[in-house]
Amino acid sequence: MNAHRGSAVLSSATLKVQPAATGISENNRLRLFSGSANIPLSQQVARYLGMDLGSMIRKRFADGELYVQIQESIRGCDVYLIQPCCHPVNDNLMELLIMIDACRRASARQVTAVIPYYGYARADRKTAGRESITAKLTANLITQAGANRVLAMDLHSAQIQGYFDIPLDHVYGLPVILDYLESKQLEDIVVVSPDVGGVARARQFAKRLNDAPLAIIDKRRQAHNIAEVMNVIGDVKGKTAILVDDMIDTAGTINAGAKLLREEGARQVYACATHPVFSPPAIERLSSGLFEEVIVTNSIPIREGDRFPQLTVLSMANILGETIWRIHEDSSVSSMFPK
């Protein structure tokens, strides 16, 4: 297969992809396959790499069991399987495991699970007795299925990287979102963490956004998906507040945070997150008029019926494609994201 790909040139704040003349020869062993969870993203990654997605049969038996068959020879190849573990989480995770197993049994030289959204990531430690750490269990399943390497994006917590006994490359949606925000030339910015646990993420975001000031929302969570906002630590009056999180699920946390920021005198409120999980009633909350704009990536597909005027979806295909190429060529991945 003939292909041309881009090379990533990273400025101090953003990742910009420019065309390059590097080609993939006919004898190259790189193969790219997509699960059913986010085929449009996989197609964009394939276009970036200048190649076609591999041929694969996916079907479901009458009792709900999944079936996968690779439709081309991958013997001795380096195979990359793109599959976010988004809704329906159990089906998509199981499909990924079956894809990995099929590739191992087809004598692939190396199998890399490319997981734009890592499901079960929020249960990353025990917070009460007799709980399962499903983030670790999921890592065990992917490893035991036969994956040699994992490429994940914006994990919910950094320690999940240590749950894998195989190499894991961790990439970020930060450069794409930053590039978009800088193009808007917003003024009087304050970056806001929606909770204390997200301070490190918000601080890194603020540093890249011309050392913008930082504010923190202090909240107390009473139950899963229910958050009670208490107060804002920092000055947001008259400023453009940018709420930063890794994901938006029911939007309870970020919606309550936006209300508080408005009450504290914020002039505008933007929401930024890599993963648009968007469980009900997220759409109603996000489109209520509290936000000037809700900026997410396409790590998870968004149904047409769930789109609303304030929503902006940015593509992660170039970053994922560049990372896949660098892994395949044994080049540095971390150099794409300056400290």
Domains and CATH numbers, the chain: 4-172+317-336 (3.40.50.2020), 174-314 (3.40.50.2020)
Instruction: Please give the pLDDT value at position 93.
Output: 98
**φ/ψ (deg, to 5) at 103:** -70, -40
Q: In whole angstroms, what is the distance from residue 71 CA to residue 93 CA?
A: 21
Whether 220 and 230 have beta carbons less than 8 Å apart is answered as yes
**φ/ψ (deg, to 5) at 206:** -65, -40
DSSP state of 211: T
Strand residues in 165-239 grouped as ranges (E) = 168-171, 189-193, 214-223, 226-233
Q: If we measure between CA atoms, which residue out of 318, 316, 278 comes closest to residue 294?
A: 278
Tell me, yes or no, if 16 is annotated catalytic: no
Give the number of residues written for the chain. Answer: 339
**pLDDT tens by residue, 222-255:** 666 665 657 899 999 999 999 999 999 999 989 9
Distance, CA of 305 to chain centre: 21
What the block records as the tokens of 192 is 């806001």
Q: In whole angstroms, what is the distance from residue 260 CA to residue 74 CA?
A: 54
Whether 84 and 20 have beta carbons less than 8 Å apart is answered as no
**pLDDT tens by residue, 17-47:** 443 334 444 448 999 999 999 999 999 999 9
Up-side HSE of residue 80: CA atoms within 13 Å toward CB? 28
Q: In whole angstroms, what is the distance from residue 60 CA to residue 5 CA?
A: 35
Whether 191 and 207 have beta carbons less than 8 Å apart is answered as no
Q: If we measure between CA atoms, which residue out of 167, 56, 27, 144 comes closest to residue 93?
A: 144
Instruction: Give me the DSSP letters along 235-291.
Output: --TTSEEEEEEEEESSSHHHHHHHHHHHHTT-SEEEEEEEEE---TTHHHHHTSSS-
In this predicted model, which residue has the larger pLDDT, 143 or 16? Answer: 143
Strand residues in the chain grouped as ranges (E) = 4-10, 15-23, 30-34, 56-60, 66-70, 78-82, 110-115, 149-153, 168-171, 189-193, 214-223, 226-233, 240-248, 268-276, 293-297, 311-314
Whether 93 and 61 have beta carbons less than 8 Å apart is answered as no
In this predicted model, which residue has the larger pLDDT, 228 or 318? Answer: 318
Report the predicted TM-score, pTM, of the whole model to 2 decimal places. Answer: 0.89
Instruction: Please give the pLDDT value at position 131.
Output: 95
**What region, left, alpha or beta, does residue 188 occupy, with left being phi > 0 and alpha being psi -120 to 50 degrees?**
left
**Arithmetic mean of pLDDT, 288-310:** 96
**pLDDT tens by residue, 107-150:** 999 999 999 999 999 999 998 999 999 999 999 999 999 999 99
The residue type of 138 is T
Whether 321 and 327 have beta carbons less than 8 Å apart is answered as no
Q: How confident is the model at residue 218 (pLDDT cuts 50, 70, 90)?
A: confident
**φ/ψ (deg, to 5) at 280:** -55, 140
Return the percentage of the chain with pLDDT > 90, whole number: 82
Whether the pLDDT of residue 196 is over 80: the answer is: yes
**pLDDT tens by residue, 62-82:** 999 999 999 999 999 999 999
Q: In whole angstroms, what is the distance from residue 67 CA to residue 59 CA?
A: 5
Q: If we measure between CA atoms, which residue out of 226, 270, 272 comes closest to residue 250?
A: 226
The residue type of 284 is E
Out of 16, 219, 237, 239, the active site residue is: 219
